[in-house]
Structure 1
Amino acid sequence: MRKFKLIVKACALIAYAFLLIIHFIVKDHYQLLQVFFYAFPLPILIFTGSTVTLLFYRTRTYFVLGICLILALVVYWFSTSYNFSNNTDIPKDASSILFWNAADGWDLPVDVLMESISSMKPDIIGLVEAEYATVEDIDLLSTTFPQYEFRILKGNMLVGVKGRIENVIFKAEERSYHINFIEAQLRNGRISVAITDIFQSPTMDKKKAIETVLQFASQKKTDLIIGDFNTPQESVHFKSFQTEYRSFHEYGQGFTATWPFGIPLLELDQIFAKKNLTPILLKKFYYPESDHGMLVGYIEEQF
């Protein structure tokens, strides 16, 4: 029995060390291993590590080392996934973008959307997984907010702009990605936005999909990329964005995670702005109508 317990403890340590190496070193460089990276975000690793540590409660040295490791992981988690203060004042002439994965029900949460538009008055509105949006919803939104133009797009998306939509181009690959490129005329200028929804399968080649989004956006000189990437913000595949775009990740308040609702687990929904634009704040709002947080990003420049 004692030998069996030693084997269990050894296997637990080896498995946990493997998961830590995947998370901090290997990440999702390799498609065959990316499922471990996606399935074990840092909060899960902290919980798993706590469980492994309890196996050694009779072995003082290992138990203390395990506690120290868990505490270090907690500190690292908060330092990378929590913005402790960002009380930036929003200039009156700042522009704003609202993005939301609105899926978690059998109809479009149009009441929540209208309340958000009324209170935040975003210049750009982008929704994905809005397959239940209807013509009646668009009519209601257009009547309530006549200064906006709303459209249901291919790929189960919805867009609204405080101005006029001039052109929409749809790109898609089955079970990989949907992208809508929108060109619009706003109050003081033109803006181009890519609304993105990447397929959620953890075994899919996310590198190809994410690089395709960036390639298309670069070719079209897109100002903003907003979407549900179904890929953690820590993914190595987002590094290529840094040349031309700036993430709103560092401009948020509180936990940076956007999924699932109520648990700060994964930052799947993101906003990227062209480097000539200056992000100043990212707010998140959570509603029971969706398991994804609603993002509202503010930019210093006025469109």
Structure 2
Amino acid sequence: MVRIKVPGTTANLGPAFDTAGMAFEIYNYFDFYESDEPKNFEEDNLIYISAKKVYDYLGKDISSMNFKVEGEVPQSRGLGSSATCIVGGIVGANLLLGNLLSQQEILNLATELEGHPDNVAPALLGGCVFSTMDGENVLYQRIEGMENLTCFLAIPDFPLETRLAREALPDSLTYKETVSNISQIAFLINGLRESNLDDFLVGTKDNIHEPYRKELIHGFDQMKKIEEEYKGRMLISGAGPTLLFVTDGQVDQEELIKKWEEIAEKTGEKWKILSAPIDHEGTKEI
């Protein structure tokens, strides 16, 4: 039997739409084992589909494979739940079969299933990862640093389907909007790498998705008032509805959480506010 943990992730980080992602210390746990006992999953299960991708890729028979999962990453909340299932299925199957795949092969297979690497890359590698495609091959840059930045998550009790979040996006953007996003990426990367909050604030204004998706998140404008209380930036995590707040690493975390809870209470929705340390290890056998 093999047991692994896969971190939940955020994607986009403002302007880096479908390009950047970051892993947090919230995990889904997967046990993979060979067994003749009846299967406890349907064949359209994403974990099974991902594991079968490996078995087929390696020409192996999957009939005796089984798995169990338990987790902390909520579904349909913009925290990469599907990415944990894809990466968990691929890595778990690979380890069960003798660890035959390279990290690059794992990342390519995961991206093929997910459609883009922004969540699966940090889920696999940990930290903050910027990625792009070169044909079927994923190219990525992993950002080191971020020691003096602190992340907080506000997770609502209502879901948001990724399909609806995608449908909210416009069919086209103006040159001005596109250039604005591109111009900020250097500031975003430097802000992360150097833990420079001022650069991070400059580099996280978005024109591509947040102006449209925020309308799907009840309480978004009220929750953004945390920026008035503390210097930092509130972002939509992935497709939403979870909100990510990034600020200085020296902030009083208990005080900030209490303040954001007070703001959240006025939205009429239930939010779980928590500190979210960055995971730097990625998927790991335990």
TM tier, smaller:
under 0.3
Choose 1 or 2 for highest CA Rg: 1
- Structure possessing the higher relative contact order (Cα contacts under 8 Å, 6 or more residues apart): 2
Normalising by structure 2, we get a TM-score of: 0.26
